[in-house]
Structure 1
Amino acid sequence: MDLALLRTFVTVHRAGSFTRAAALLGLSQPAVTSQIRTLERQLGRPLFLRQARGVTPTSIGDELAHKAAPHLDALAEIAQTGLDDESAERTLHLAGPPEFTAERALPALTGPSLDDGHGFTVRAAFGNAEEVLEGLAAGHHDLAISTVRPRGALLTATPLCDEEHVLVAAPRWDELIDAGKLCRKGATALENLPVIEVHESLPLVSRYWAAVFDSHPAASGAVIVPDLRAVLACAIAGAGLAVLPRYLCAAALERGEVVALHEPAVPPLRTYVLVVRTGTLAVPQVARAHERLLAAAAAWC
């Protein structure tokens, strides 16, 4: 079986479309289509179901990708590094949510305390869970950090750490909120108060309200900004209430710049996972980064 055909097949499988695969491979779309048809003729089975927007692998296609992808990735690594021991320093393409990646993952990967003498260059990209997992599957990233566990066999996830969420606000808001009413009536004590969030759908606030108050937030977002570090800055400035990871606001809580408005017996948690393409933990820089993050995460929980 022609390895070039397999490489094209795996790229299409990861990209989910002939068009995106062609761009990744530097080929024309007709060339990609022709190669897939040739491989299907050789196997005597269809590998993809053509749809209006992209392609979906058949069961045979999924099975072939699961078997072939790790070996092709290993061959690509050999081609990249060669057999020279002096070429140990390689590039790791990391993707994840901007705040967690910047505040925790990147310091863990680049800090001298975890230097094992085998360095690698880090290239980081930020995005939401859907974006980073799609990019990982398509081969744009080597390692992804996600709050969503991927499905299927092409991506492998390992639990990294849990993130505790805290309801915070500037001290002046704590003075305006009746603590007794908050304990007795829950979310009704917070109705119509301004909320700071990363999206109009209020994902963090809604998750907190559901877990702690068994209700939905009544207010709309007063400030919407797609970075939790900016949410914290707005909360410190007094713009309203916010739900934030404790690690991100711990220093501000200690300094008194914000206060925790509520301390539930069981705080809401969100779990992060480390995700790789199945089989790529055999790649040295991916394995080292994976180990470093897991080791660092032991101190985060």
Structure 2
Amino acid sequence: MPGLDLLATFLEVYRTGSLSAAAERLGVSQPAVSGQVARLEERLGGPLFVRSGRGARPTERAVALAARVGVHVDGLRSALGTGDQGPGVGGLVRIGGAAELMSERVLPALAPLVARGLQVRAMLGLGDDLLAALAEGRLDVVVSSVRPRDAAVRATPLVDEEFLLVGPASLAHTVDQVRLAADPVPALAHLPLVAYAEDLPIVRRYWRSEFGRRPPNATSLVVPDLRAVLAAVAAGAGVSVLPRYLAAPALEAGRVVLLHEPQAAPLNTLYLAVARDAPPDPARAAVVDRLGEAAGRWTSL
């Protein structure tokens, strides 16, 4: 198991997107940061970042690792008194979002604020329901995959979700690659679908975006939780379309495989929404700022 120092350095590079910025925050030299990242990559058996003149872009392995260890490392650093906690944050913020995104990205991103005293109450649900709760004053912040239409709600783009068509290797082997390149809809038509809802909202959007029509495939399983969709796909129940942030660890581990590689991956914008006429609130502002900073590191999901 990598030591706390290696993981803490990795998280600083991941969060700042830069070896030099991480070194500055940690109070060490850039070569020291680079050496620690290299040792961690050697321990894990693969690269965590792609270095360029614009910084350090995380690989899928890095995204998966940060999701697994971020909250725990922050908690340990706080308990040991080694974390940069910053000033206290008081108040209560009620935030809503999809269960999968809240679990994998939003709530971990807010953990440092909670460690500094912020109270958070999370509501999980569908975009339209959560935005209605925001407009009615029952929520303070919503991360929504639906663009708000209510004039009482102010929304700003937060980050783009990138969608992937994935399936188990056992079904991927049944796809004729030559036919897939020439005529993808019939090439994939024999594959059963695992879907989030009966009307196939995510799958249908992918088929229309990439193939120009609805999927003719039979639906084998419907479950309103994308984590359960992924588990069913990995177990062999069918194929599905999932956001990259959720599918990446399973792809890395070989539990699922990519079935189709579009020239430009289908994207869906997530919005950060607040009530337009809400009075100033430092706690809400801290949450909005924190999620904006985190989204800058995510680049896309």
TM-score by structure 2 length?
A: 0.68
The answer to whether 1:104 aligns with 2:105 is yes
The structure 1 residue matched to 2:287, chosen from 269, 273, 289, is 289
Q: Which residue of 1 aligns with 2:92?
A: 91
Q: Which residue of 1 aligns with 2:20?
A: none
State the distance in 2 between where 1:131 and 1:142 align. Answer: 14
Q: Which residue of 2 aligns with 1:165?
A: 163
Q: Which residue of 1 aligns with 2:128?
A: 130
State the distance in 1 between where 2:239 and 2:201 align. Answer: 14
How far has the Cα of 1:224 moved from its partner?
A: 0.3
State the distance in 1 between where 2:186 and 2:174 align. Answer: 14
Check the 8 A contact 1:163/1:271 in 2, yes or no: yes
Deviation string 1:106-140 (CA, Å, 9 cap, x unpaired) is: 00011x3xx49853111101111110000111111
Question: Which residue identity is paired with 2:136?
Answer: A
Q: Which residue of 2 aligns with 1:217?
A: 215
State the distance in 1 between where 2:169 and 2:278 align. Answer: 48
State the distance in 2 between where 1:168 and 1:204 align. Answer: 13
State the distance in 2 between where 1:171 and 1:121 align. Answer: 43
State the distance in 1 between where 2:139 and 2:191 align. Answer: 41
Structure having the higher Rg:
1
1:238 partner SS: coil
RMSD: 1.8
Q: Which residue of 1 aligns with 2:50?
A: none
How far has the Cα of 1:190 moved from its partner?
A: 1.1
Deviation string 1:125-163 (CA, Å, 9 cap, x unpaired) is: 111111000011111110001111212431100111001
1:282 partner SS: coil
How far has the Cα of 1:267 moved from its partner?
A: 1.0
- Residues 191 and 87 of structure 1, relative CA distance in 2, 3 Å threshold: closer
Check the 8 A contact 1:281/1:287 in 2, yes or no: no
Check the 8 A contact 1:197/1:231 in 2, yes or no: yes
Question: Which residue identity is paired with 2:245?
Answer: Y
Check the 8 A contact 2:156/2:271 in 1, yes or no: yes
Question: Which residue identity is paired with 1:169?
Answer: G
Q: Which residue of 2 aligns with 1:204?
A: 202
The answer to whether 1:195 aligns with 2:188 is no
How far has the Cα of 1:180 moved from its partner?
A: 1.3
Identical aligned residues as a percent = 43
Check the 8 A contact 1:166/1:267 in 2, yes or no: yes
How far has the Cα of 1:252 moved from its partner?
A: 0.6
- Residues 177 and 137 of structure 1, relative CA distance in 2, 3 Å threshold: same
Q: How does 1:260-299 map to 2 (within 5 A)?
A: 260-280=258-278, 282-299=280-297
Q: Which runs of 5+ in 1 are unaligned?
A: 1-85
2:187 partner SS: helix
How far has the Cα of 1:192 moved from its partner?
A: 3.3
Question: Which residue identity is paired with 1:290?
Answer: V
State the distance in 1 between where 2:279 and 2:209 align. Answer: 36
Question: Which residue identity is paired with 1:162?
Answer: D
- Residues 123 and 117 of structure 1, relative CA distance in 2, 3 Å threshold: closer
Q: Which residue of 1 aligns with 2:234?
A: 236
Deviation string 1:12-57 (CA, Å, 9 cap, x unpaired) is: xxxxxxxxxxxxxxxxxxxxxxxxxxxxxxxxxxxxxxxxxxxxxx
- Residues 127 and 117 of structure 1, relative CA distance in 2, 3 Å threshold: closer
State the distance in 2 between where 1:182 and 1:299 align. Answer: 35
Question: Which residue identity is paired with 2:162?
Answer: E
2:259 partner SS: strand
How far has the Cα of 1:87 moved from its partner?
A: 9.8
Check the 8 A contact 1:280/1:286 in 2, yes or no: no
Q: Which residue of 1 aligns with 2:42?
A: none
1:234 partner SS: helix
How far has the Cα of 1:220 moved from its partner?
A: 3.2
Q: Which residue of 2 aligns with 1:186?
A: 184
The answer to whether 1:251 aligns with 2:249 is yes
State the distance in 1 between where 2:114 and 2:160 align. Answer: 26
Deviation string 1:146-184 (CA, Å, 9 cap, x unpaired) is: 111212431100111001000000111111111111111
Question: Which residue identity is paired with 2:94?
Answer: H
The answer to whether 1:227 aligns with 2:225 is yes
Check the 8 A contact 1:165/1:244 in 2, yes or no: yes
